[in-house]
Structure 1
Amino acid sequence: MIKLLSNLKIAVPDKIYIKDPESSDLGKRIIQHSIVLIDELGFDSFTFKKLGAKIGSNESSIYRYFESKHKLLLYLTSWYWAWIEYHLVFATFNVSDPELQLSKAIEIISKNVEEDQAFSHINEVALNRIIINEYSKSYLTKEVDSENKEGYFVVYKRLVTRLKDMILIINSNYKYPASLASTIIEGSLHQHYLKDHFRSITDCSETTTPAEYFTHLVLSTLKQTTHDK
Protein backbone atom coordinates (compact mmCIF):
# COMPACT_ATOMS: atom_id res chain seq x y z
CA MET A 1 0.00 0.00 0.00
CA ILE A 2 2.72 2.49 0.97
CA LYS A 3 4.70 1.79 -2.20
CA LEU A 4 1.59 2.10 -4.35
CA LEU A 5 0.38 5.33 -2.75
CA SER A 6 3.87 6.86 -2.97
CA ASN A 7 3.47 6.85 -6.76
CA LEU A 8 0.14 8.66 -6.59
CA LYS A 9 -0.55 12.36 -6.30
CA ILE A 10 -3.57 13.34 -4.26
CA ALA A 11 -5.61 15.48 -6.65
CA VAL A 12 -7.11 18.69 -5.26
CA PRO A 13 -9.25 20.98 -7.46
CA ASP A 14 -6.77 23.45 -8.96
CA LYS A 15 -9.06 26.48 -8.58
CA ILE A 16 -8.58 26.28 -4.81
CA TYR A 17 -4.95 27.34 -4.97
CA ILE A 18 -2.94 29.92 -6.91
CA LYS A 19 0.20 27.79 -7.10
CA ASP A 20 0.23 24.06 -6.41
CA PRO A 21 1.89 23.63 -2.98
CA GLU A 22 3.07 20.18 -4.04
CA SER A 23 5.25 21.80 -6.70
CA SER A 24 7.89 23.22 -4.34
CA ASP A 25 9.60 22.68 -1.00
CA LEU A 26 8.12 25.95 0.29
CA GLY A 27 4.63 24.85 -0.70
CA LYS A 28 5.03 21.54 1.11
CA ARG A 29 6.29 23.37 4.22
CA ILE A 30 3.24 25.64 4.05
CA ILE A 31 0.98 22.58 4.09
CA GLN A 32 3.02 20.74 6.73
CA HIS A 33 3.14 23.60 9.21
CA SER A 34 -0.36 24.91 8.55
CA ILE A 35 -1.64 21.52 9.74
CA VAL A 36 0.48 21.79 12.87
CA LEU A 37 -0.67 25.35 13.62
CA ILE A 38 -4.37 24.85 12.90
CA ASP A 39 -4.34 21.71 15.04
CA GLU A 40 -2.60 23.63 17.83
CA LEU A 41 -4.40 27.00 17.66
CA GLY A 42 -7.71 26.26 15.95
CA PHE A 43 -8.70 27.69 12.58
CA ASP A 44 -10.13 30.93 13.96
CA SER A 45 -6.84 31.87 15.66
CA PHE A 46 -4.69 30.70 12.75
CA THR A 47 -3.23 33.42 10.47
CA PHE A 48 -0.80 33.55 7.57
CA LYS A 49 1.36 35.87 9.68
CA LYS A 50 1.73 33.17 12.33
CA LEU A 51 2.36 30.56 9.64
CA GLY A 52 5.03 32.74 8.03
CA ALA A 53 6.81 33.08 11.37
CA LYS A 54 6.59 29.31 11.84
CA ILE A 55 8.21 28.48 8.50
CA GLY A 56 10.64 31.42 8.51
CA SER A 57 9.15 33.04 5.41
CA ASN A 58 7.37 36.26 4.55
CA GLU A 59 3.61 36.27 4.86
CA SER A 60 3.46 37.44 1.26
CA SER A 61 5.09 34.20 0.07
CA ILE A 62 2.12 32.23 1.43
CA TYR A 63 -0.28 34.41 -0.57
CA ARG A 64 1.47 33.24 -3.73
CA TYR A 65 -0.04 29.82 -3.03
CA PHE A 66 -3.40 30.66 -1.39
CA GLU A 67 -5.40 33.84 -1.57
CA SER A 68 -6.87 33.32 1.93
CA LYS A 69 -6.79 30.99 4.90
CA HIS A 70 -10.27 29.85 3.85
CA LYS A 71 -8.82 28.58 0.56
CA LEU A 72 -6.06 26.85 2.51
CA LEU A 73 -8.69 25.09 4.65
CA LEU A 74 -10.51 24.05 1.47
CA TYR A 75 -7.23 22.61 0.19
CA LEU A 76 -6.59 20.64 3.39
CA THR A 77 -10.13 19.26 3.55
CA SER A 78 -10.12 18.31 -0.13
CA TRP A 79 -6.75 16.60 0.28
CA TYR A 80 -8.07 14.66 3.27
CA TRP A 81 -11.19 13.40 1.50
CA ALA A 82 -9.18 12.43 -1.57
CA TRP A 83 -6.76 10.52 0.67
CA ILE A 84 -9.68 8.76 2.35
CA GLU A 85 -11.11 7.95 -1.07
CA TYR A 86 -7.86 6.29 -2.19
CA HIS A 87 -7.84 4.08 0.89
CA LEU A 88 -11.52 3.27 0.43
CA VAL A 89 -11.03 2.25 -3.20
CA PHE A 90 -8.07 0.01 -2.40
CA ALA A 91 -9.84 -1.59 0.57
CA THR A 92 -13.03 -2.41 -1.34
CA PHE A 93 -11.88 -3.03 -4.92
CA ASN A 94 -11.72 -6.84 -4.76
CA VAL A 95 -14.56 -7.32 -2.26
CA SER A 96 -17.45 -9.06 -3.98
CA ASP A 97 -19.89 -9.24 -1.06
CA PRO A 98 -21.91 -5.95 -1.06
CA GLU A 99 -22.46 -5.83 2.71
CA LEU A 100 -18.78 -6.49 3.42
CA GLN A 101 -17.79 -3.89 0.85
CA LEU A 102 -20.00 -1.24 2.46
CA SER A 103 -18.80 -2.22 5.94
CA LYS A 104 -15.19 -1.79 4.85
CA ALA A 105 -16.02 1.59 3.33
CA ILE A 106 -17.66 2.75 6.56
CA GLU A 107 -14.64 1.52 8.49
CA ILE A 108 -12.24 3.53 6.31
CA ILE A 109 -14.32 6.69 6.68
CA SER A 110 -15.04 6.38 10.40
CA LYS A 111 -11.97 4.75 11.95
CA ASN A 112 -9.23 6.43 13.98
CA VAL A 113 -6.65 7.66 11.49
CA GLU A 114 -3.06 6.47 11.52
CA GLU A 115 -0.17 8.42 9.99
CA ASP A 116 0.55 7.48 6.37
CA GLN A 117 4.27 7.19 5.63
CA ALA A 118 3.65 7.76 1.92
CA PHE A 119 3.20 11.51 2.52
CA SER A 120 6.01 12.66 4.77
CA HIS A 121 5.04 16.35 4.83
CA ILE A 122 1.47 15.67 5.98
CA ASN A 123 0.52 14.47 9.45
CA GLU A 124 -2.74 12.69 8.72
CA VAL A 125 -3.51 12.19 12.42
CA ALA A 126 -3.40 15.95 13.07
CA LEU A 127 -5.27 16.59 9.82
CA ASN A 128 -8.00 14.20 10.94
CA ARG A 129 -8.41 16.23 14.14
CA ILE A 130 -8.74 19.36 12.00
CA ILE A 131 -11.41 17.70 9.87
CA ILE A 132 -13.35 16.66 12.97
CA ASN A 133 -13.12 20.10 14.56
CA GLU A 134 -13.05 22.49 11.62
CA TYR A 135 -14.45 20.87 8.47
CA SER A 136 -17.84 22.57 8.67
CA LYS A 137 -16.12 25.97 8.48
CA SER A 138 -15.05 25.16 4.92
CA TYR A 139 -18.65 25.18 3.67
CA LEU A 140 -20.76 27.09 6.22
CA THR A 141 -20.09 30.34 4.39
CA LYS A 142 -21.98 32.84 2.25
CA GLU A 143 -19.85 31.80 -0.73
CA VAL A 144 -20.68 28.09 -0.57
CA ASP A 145 -22.97 28.06 -3.62
CA SER A 146 -20.51 29.84 -5.90
CA GLU A 147 -17.65 27.71 -4.58
CA ASN A 148 -19.70 24.58 -5.21
CA LYS A 149 -20.26 25.70 -8.82
CA GLU A 150 -16.49 26.18 -9.14
CA GLY A 151 -15.97 22.55 -8.13
CA TYR A 152 -14.32 23.14 -4.74
CA PHE A 153 -16.27 20.29 -3.11
CA VAL A 154 -16.04 17.78 -5.95
CA VAL A 155 -13.86 15.31 -4.01
CA TYR A 156 -16.20 15.23 -1.02
CA LYS A 157 -19.25 14.85 -3.27
CA ARG A 158 -17.55 12.03 -5.17
CA LEU A 159 -16.93 10.18 -1.91
CA VAL A 160 -20.60 10.54 -0.96
CA THR A 161 -21.57 9.18 -4.37
CA ARG A 162 -19.33 6.12 -3.91
CA LEU A 163 -21.12 5.31 -0.66
CA LYS A 164 -24.51 5.97 -2.22
CA ASP A 165 -23.76 3.49 -5.01
CA MET A 166 -22.70 0.83 -2.49
CA ILE A 167 -25.94 1.37 -0.56
CA LEU A 168 -28.01 0.92 -3.71
CA ILE A 169 -26.24 -2.34 -4.57
CA ILE A 170 -27.49 -3.77 -1.26
CA ASN A 171 -30.98 -2.31 -1.58
CA SER A 172 -31.83 -0.74 -4.91
CA ASN A 173 -35.25 0.36 -3.63
CA TYR A 174 -33.95 2.33 -0.66
CA LYS A 175 -35.39 5.84 -1.04
CA TYR A 176 -32.68 7.91 0.64
CA PRO A 177 -29.24 6.62 -0.44
CA ALA A 178 -27.57 10.03 -0.84
CA SER A 179 -28.89 11.26 2.50
CA LEU A 180 -27.72 8.09 4.21
CA ALA A 181 -24.29 8.29 2.55
CA SER A 182 -23.71 11.91 3.58
CA THR A 183 -24.99 11.11 7.08
CA ILE A 184 -22.34 8.39 7.43
CA ILE A 185 -19.55 10.84 6.64
CA GLU A 186 -20.82 13.85 8.57
CA GLY A 187 -22.13 11.70 11.41
CA SER A 188 -18.83 9.91 11.91
CA LEU A 189 -17.09 13.26 12.38
CA HIS A 190 -19.77 14.33 14.85
CA GLN A 191 -19.54 11.09 16.84
CA HIS A 192 -15.77 11.45 17.08
CA TYR A 193 -16.29 15.00 18.35
CA LEU A 194 -18.86 13.89 20.92
CA LYS A 195 -16.61 11.04 22.03
CA ASP A 196 -13.82 13.52 22.72
CA HIS A 197 -15.86 16.33 24.28
CA PHE A 198 -19.42 15.26 25.23
CA ARG A 199 -19.14 11.65 26.29
CA SER A 200 -22.46 11.59 28.14
CA ILE A 201 -24.46 12.02 24.91
CA THR A 202 -22.85 9.36 22.75
CA ASP A 203 -22.43 5.61 23.01
CA CYS A 204 -19.14 5.78 21.14
CA SER A 205 -16.13 5.28 23.37
CA GLU A 206 -12.71 3.67 23.46
CA THR A 207 -14.42 0.30 23.05
CA THR A 208 -17.33 1.23 20.76
CA THR A 209 -16.18 3.07 17.66
CA PRO A 210 -18.16 5.34 15.33
CA ALA A 211 -17.44 2.77 12.60
CA GLU A 212 -19.22 0.05 14.62
CA TYR A 213 -22.18 2.31 15.26
CA PHE A 214 -22.64 3.37 11.64
CA THR A 215 -22.13 -0.13 10.28
CA HIS A 216 -24.89 -1.38 12.58
CA LEU A 217 -27.15 1.57 11.80
CA VAL A 218 -26.75 1.39 8.03
CA LEU A 219 -26.96 -2.37 7.54
CA SER A 220 -29.92 -2.64 9.93
CA THR A 221 -31.72 0.14 8.07
CA LEU A 222 -31.11 -1.42 4.66
CA LYS A 223 -32.17 -4.89 5.82
CA GLN A 224 -35.32 -3.52 7.47
CA THR A 225 -36.41 -1.60 4.39
CA THR A 226 -35.77 -4.70 2.26
CA HIS A 227 -38.07 -6.77 4.48
CA ASP A 228 -40.72 -4.04 4.39
CA LYS A 229 -41.11 -4.21 0.60
Structure 2
Amino acid sequence: MHNLLSNLKISVPEKIFVKDPESSALGKRIIENSILLINDIGFDSFTFKKLGTKIGSNESSIYRYFESKHKLLLYLSSWYWAWIEYQLVFETHSIINSTEKLKKAINIVCRATKEDSKFSHINEIILCRIIINENSKSFLTKEVDQENKDGYFVIYKRVIHRLRDMILETSPDYQFPSSLASTIVEGGLHQHFLKDHFISMTDCKEHITPSDFYIDLTINTLKL
Protein backbone atom coordinates (compact mmCIF):
# COMPACT_ATOMS: atom_id res chain seq x y z
CA MET A 1 0.00 0.00 0.00
CA HIS A 2 2.97 2.32 0.67
CA ASN A 3 3.96 2.24 -3.01
CA LEU A 4 0.35 2.53 -4.14
CA LEU A 5 -0.23 5.67 -2.07
CA SER A 6 2.97 7.27 -3.31
CA ASN A 7 1.73 7.01 -6.90
CA LEU A 8 -1.69 8.54 -6.24
CA LYS A 9 -2.77 12.00 -7.33
CA ILE A 10 -4.49 13.66 -4.38
CA SER A 11 -7.41 15.83 -5.53
CA VAL A 12 -8.35 19.01 -3.65
CA PRO A 13 -11.51 21.08 -4.32
CA GLU A 14 -10.65 23.51 -7.11
CA LYS A 15 -12.30 26.54 -5.49
CA ILE A 16 -9.65 26.51 -2.77
CA PHE A 17 -6.84 27.57 -5.09
CA VAL A 18 -6.44 30.12 -7.86
CA LYS A 19 -3.99 27.93 -9.77
CA ASP A 20 -3.39 24.27 -9.02
CA PRO A 21 -0.03 24.08 -7.21
CA GLU A 22 0.41 20.57 -8.59
CA SER A 23 0.61 22.05 -12.08
CA SER A 24 4.08 23.62 -11.77
CA ALA A 25 7.43 23.30 -10.05
CA LEU A 26 6.86 26.63 -8.28
CA GLY A 27 3.48 25.49 -7.00
CA LYS A 28 4.99 22.34 -5.55
CA ARG A 29 7.75 24.38 -3.90
CA ILE A 30 5.09 26.61 -2.36
CA ILE A 31 3.35 23.58 -0.84
CA GLU A 32 6.55 21.86 0.26
CA ASN A 33 8.01 24.94 1.94
CA SER A 34 4.74 26.18 3.43
CA ILE A 35 4.54 22.89 5.34
CA LEU A 36 8.09 23.30 6.61
CA LEU A 37 7.60 26.97 7.54
CA ILE A 38 4.26 26.51 9.30
CA ASN A 39 5.79 23.66 11.27
CA ASP A 40 8.71 25.90 12.27
CA ILE A 41 6.90 29.12 13.23
CA GLY A 42 3.19 28.21 13.48
CA PHE A 43 0.30 29.28 11.28
CA ASP A 44 -0.36 32.53 13.13
CA SER A 45 3.17 33.79 12.42
CA PHE A 46 3.21 32.41 8.87
CA THR A 47 2.95 34.94 6.02
CA PHE A 48 3.33 34.80 2.26
CA LYS A 49 6.16 37.32 2.58
CA LYS A 50 8.11 34.92 4.82
CA LEU A 51 7.28 32.03 2.49
CA GLY A 52 8.45 34.03 -0.51
CA THR A 53 11.75 34.72 1.21
CA LYS A 54 12.14 31.03 2.01
CA ILE A 55 11.58 29.89 -1.57
CA GLY A 56 13.39 32.81 -3.18
CA SER A 57 10.32 34.13 -4.99
CA ASN A 58 8.19 37.26 -4.92
CA GLU A 59 5.25 37.32 -2.53
CA SER A 60 3.04 38.15 -5.52
CA SER A 61 3.91 34.83 -7.16
CA ILE A 62 2.32 32.95 -4.23
CA TYR A 63 -0.90 34.93 -4.64
CA ARG A 64 -1.15 33.53 -8.16
CA TYR A 65 -1.84 30.16 -6.48
CA PHE A 66 -3.69 31.11 -3.27
CA GLU A 67 -5.61 34.28 -2.50
CA SER A 68 -4.83 34.06 1.24
CA LYS A 69 -2.94 32.01 3.79
CA HIS A 70 -6.32 30.74 5.01
CA LYS A 71 -6.93 29.20 1.58
CA LEU A 72 -3.47 27.65 1.72
CA LEU A 73 -4.31 26.06 5.09
CA LEU A 74 -7.57 24.78 3.61
CA TYR A 75 -5.55 23.22 0.80
CA LEU A 76 -3.16 21.49 3.22
CA SER A 77 -6.06 20.27 5.38
CA SER A 78 -7.99 18.97 2.36
CA TRP A 79 -4.90 17.23 1.01
CA TYR A 80 -4.31 15.55 4.37
CA TRP A 81 -7.88 14.29 4.71
CA ALA A 82 -7.87 13.04 1.12
CA TRP A 83 -4.71 11.11 1.94
CA ILE A 84 -6.41 9.67 5.06
CA GLU A 85 -9.42 8.72 2.94
CA TYR A 86 -7.24 6.74 0.54
CA GLN A 87 -5.79 4.87 3.49
CA LEU A 88 -9.28 4.16 4.82
CA VAL A 89 -10.35 2.70 1.50
CA PHE A 90 -7.26 0.59 0.82
CA GLU A 91 -6.66 -0.69 4.34
CA THR A 92 -10.25 -1.67 5.13
CA HIS A 93 -11.68 -2.87 1.80
CA SER A 94 -10.72 -6.52 2.33
CA ILE A 95 -11.83 -6.76 5.98
CA ILE A 96 -15.09 -8.72 6.15
CA ASN A 97 -15.86 -8.51 9.86
CA SER A 98 -17.59 -5.16 10.50
CA THR A 99 -16.19 -4.76 14.02
CA GLU A 100 -12.62 -5.40 12.90
CA LYS A 101 -13.13 -3.03 9.97
CA LEU A 102 -14.32 -0.31 12.35
CA LYS A 103 -11.37 -0.84 14.67
CA LYS A 104 -8.99 -0.55 11.72
CA ALA A 105 -10.69 2.62 10.52
CA ILE A 106 -10.45 4.24 13.96
CA ASN A 107 -6.76 3.39 14.08
CA ILE A 108 -6.23 5.00 10.67
CA VAL A 109 -7.95 8.30 11.48
CA CYS A 110 -6.41 8.57 14.97
CA ARG A 111 -2.85 7.40 14.43
CA ALA A 112 0.08 9.77 14.09
CA THR A 113 1.92 9.54 10.80
CA LYS A 114 5.32 7.96 11.30
CA GLU A 115 6.30 7.20 7.72
CA ASP A 116 6.71 9.51 4.75
CA SER A 117 5.00 7.92 1.71
CA LYS A 118 7.46 9.63 -0.61
CA PHE A 119 5.24 12.18 -2.26
CA SER A 120 7.90 14.28 -3.91
CA HIS A 121 6.97 17.62 -2.34
CA ILE A 122 4.90 16.76 0.75
CA ASN A 123 6.27 15.42 4.00
CA GLU A 124 3.25 13.66 5.53
CA ILE A 125 4.92 13.32 8.94
CA ILE A 126 5.27 17.09 9.27
CA LEU A 127 1.88 17.71 7.66
CA CYS A 128 0.24 15.43 10.24
CA ARG A 129 1.88 17.52 12.97
CA ILE A 130 0.44 20.68 11.41
CA ILE A 131 -3.05 19.15 11.23
CA ILE A 132 -2.86 18.21 14.92
CA ASN A 133 -1.89 21.77 15.84
CA GLU A 134 -3.68 23.88 13.24
CA ASN A 135 -6.58 21.98 11.62
CA SER A 136 -9.34 23.72 13.60
CA LYS A 137 -8.17 27.10 12.25
CA SER A 138 -9.32 26.00 8.80
CA PHE A 139 -12.99 26.08 9.88
CA LEU A 140 -13.24 28.17 13.07
CA THR A 141 -13.93 31.32 11.04
CA LYS A 142 -16.85 33.64 10.33
CA GLU A 143 -16.86 32.40 6.74
CA VAL A 144 -17.29 28.72 7.61
CA ASP A 145 -20.93 28.44 6.49
CA GLN A 146 -20.27 29.94 3.06
CA GLU A 147 -17.08 27.92 2.65
CA ASN A 148 -19.01 24.80 3.57
CA LYS A 149 -21.61 25.63 0.88
CA ASP A 150 -18.76 26.14 -1.57
CA GLY A 151 -17.51 22.61 -0.87
CA TYR A 152 -14.23 23.45 0.86
CA PHE A 153 -14.75 20.76 3.51
CA VAL A 154 -16.18 18.02 1.32
CA ILE A 155 -13.21 15.66 1.79
CA TYR A 156 -13.07 16.13 5.56
CA LYS A 157 -16.81 15.43 5.76
CA ARG A 158 -16.41 12.39 3.50
CA VAL A 159 -13.89 10.85 5.93
CA ILE A 160 -16.34 11.31 8.79
CA HIS A 161 -19.21 9.89 6.72
CA ARG A 162 -17.16 6.80 5.87
CA LEU A 163 -16.51 6.25 9.56
CA ARG A 164 -20.18 6.88 10.34
CA ASP A 165 -21.22 4.23 7.82
CA MET A 166 -18.84 1.71 9.40
CA ILE A 167 -20.36 2.47 12.80
CA LEU A 168 -23.82 1.78 11.37
CA GLU A 169 -22.59 -1.48 9.85
CA THR A 170 -21.72 -2.71 13.33
CA SER A 171 -24.69 -1.15 15.13
CA PRO A 172 -27.55 -0.26 12.75
CA ASP A 173 -29.77 0.96 15.60
CA TYR A 174 -27.19 3.28 17.21
CA GLN A 175 -28.73 6.75 17.44
CA PHE A 176 -25.64 8.94 17.18
CA PRO A 177 -23.35 7.57 14.45
CA SER A 178 -22.38 10.95 12.95
CA SER A 179 -21.69 12.46 16.36
CA LEU A 180 -19.54 9.50 17.33
CA ALA A 181 -17.65 9.57 14.04
CA SER A 182 -16.87 13.29 14.22
CA THR A 183 -15.90 12.91 17.89
CA ILE A 184 -13.42 10.17 17.00
CA VAL A 185 -11.82 12.15 14.17
CA GLU A 186 -11.57 15.48 16.00
CA GLY A 187 -10.87 13.84 19.35
CA GLY A 188 -7.96 11.90 17.90
CA LEU A 189 -6.27 15.16 16.92
CA HIS A 190 -7.02 16.68 20.30
CA GLN A 191 -5.61 13.73 22.23
CA HIS A 192 -2.39 13.96 20.22
CA PHE A 193 -2.22 17.66 21.09
CA LEU A 194 -2.79 16.96 24.79
CA LYS A 195 -0.20 14.19 24.74
CA ASP A 196 2.36 16.62 23.35
CA HIS A 197 1.51 19.68 25.46
CA PHE A 198 -0.80 18.90 28.43
CA ILE A 199 0.18 15.42 29.54
CA SER A 200 -1.71 15.66 32.84
CA MET A 201 -4.98 16.02 30.89
CA THR A 202 -4.79 12.74 28.97
CA ASP A 203 -4.09 9.08 29.60
CA CYS A 204 -2.46 8.76 26.19
CA LYS A 205 1.25 8.23 26.62
CA GLU A 206 4.04 6.54 24.70
CA HIS A 207 2.40 3.10 24.86
CA ILE A 208 -1.25 4.21 25.02
CA THR A 209 -2.32 5.89 21.80
CA PRO A 210 -5.38 7.97 20.91
CA SER A 211 -6.34 5.03 18.67
CA ASP A 212 -6.35 2.74 21.72
CA PHE A 213 -8.59 5.15 23.61
CA TYR A 214 -11.13 5.68 20.83
CA ILE A 215 -11.31 2.00 19.92
CA ASP A 216 -12.03 1.20 23.57
CA LEU A 217 -14.56 4.04 23.82
CA THR A 218 -16.35 2.98 20.64
CA ILE A 219 -16.48 -0.72 21.45
CA ASN A 220 -17.92 0.02 24.89
CA THR A 221 -20.33 2.65 23.57
CA LEU A 222 -21.69 0.32 20.89
CA LYS A 223 -21.56 -2.68 23.25
CA LEU A 224 -19.75 -4.79 20.65
- Give the Å deviation of 1:121: 0.7
Residue 94 of structure 1: how far off its partner (Å)? 0.4
Within-5 A mapping of 1:32-51: 32-51=32-51
Gaps of 5+ in 2: none
State the aligned residue count.
Answer: 224
Residues in 2 aligned to 1:2 and 1:172: alpha-carbon distance in whole angstroms: 33
Structure-1-length-normalised TM-score: 0.96
Pairwise CA RMSD of aligned residues? 0.9
Deviating 4+ runs (over 3 angstroms): none
Separation of aligned partners in 1, 2:118 and 2:198: 34
Is 1:210 matched up with 2:214? no
Q: Counterpart in 1 of 2:56?
A: 56
Determine if contact 1:115/1:123 at 8 Å carries over to the other structure.
no
Mark the runs of 5 or more structure 1 residues left unpaired by the alignment. 225-229
Preserved CA contact (<8 Å) 1:164 1:180: yes
Counterparts of 1:137 and 1:92 in 2: how far apart (Å)? Answer: 30
Helix, strand or coil at the partner of 2:178: helix
Are 2:20 and 2:27, in contact at CA under 8 Å, matched by a contact in 1?
yes
1-side partners of 2:126 and 2:118: how far apart? 16
The equivalent of 2:190 in structure 1 is 190
Once the two structures are superposed, the pairs formed by residues 152-163 of structure 1 within 5 Å of their partners are: 152-163=152-163
In the TM superposition, what whole-angstrom CA distance separates every residue of 1:6-60 from its partner, at most 9, and x where no partner exists?
3321010000000000011100000000000001100000000000000000000
Distance in 2 (CA, whole Å) between partners of 1:187 and 1:2 is 26
Q: Residues 87-142 of structure 1, C-alpha deviation per residue, up to 9 Å, x if partnerless?
A: 11111000000111011111111112023334121011111111011111000000
Aligned match of 1:113: 113
Contact 2:66 2:72 in 1 (8 A): yes
Alignment-mate amino acid for residue 207 of structure 1: H
The aligned amino acid for 2:63 is: Y
- Contact map agreement 2:3 2:117 (CA 8 A) in 1: no
Q: Residues 159-170 of structure 1 correspond to what in structure 2 (within 5 A)?
A: 159-170=159-170
Provide TM-score, normalisation by structure 2: 0.98
Structure 2 equivalent of residue 140 of structure 1: 140
Query: Letter of the aligned partner of 1:171 in structure 2?
Result: S
Task: State the match for 2:223 in structure 1.
Answer: 223
> Alignment partner of 1:182: what SS?
helix
Alignment deviations for residues 136-156 of structure 1 (CA, whole Å, 9 cap, x no partner) = 100000000000000000000
* Residue of structure 2 equivalent to 1:68: 68
Aligned-partner Cα distance in 1 for 2:151–2:92: 26
Match for residue 174 of structure 2? 174
- In structure 2, distance between residues paired with 1:103 and 1:182: 15
Matches of 1:162 and 1:130, distance apart in 2: 23
Distance in 2 (alpha carbons) for counterparts of 1:132 and 1:3:
25
**Aligned residue number for residue 8 of structure 2:** 8
Q: Give the secondary-structure state (helix, strand or coil) at the position aligned to 2:37.
A: helix
Moved more, 107-116 or 156-165: 107-116
Q: Where does residue 227 of structure 1 map in the other structure?
A: none
In 2, Cα distance between equivalents of 1:180 and 1:18: 35
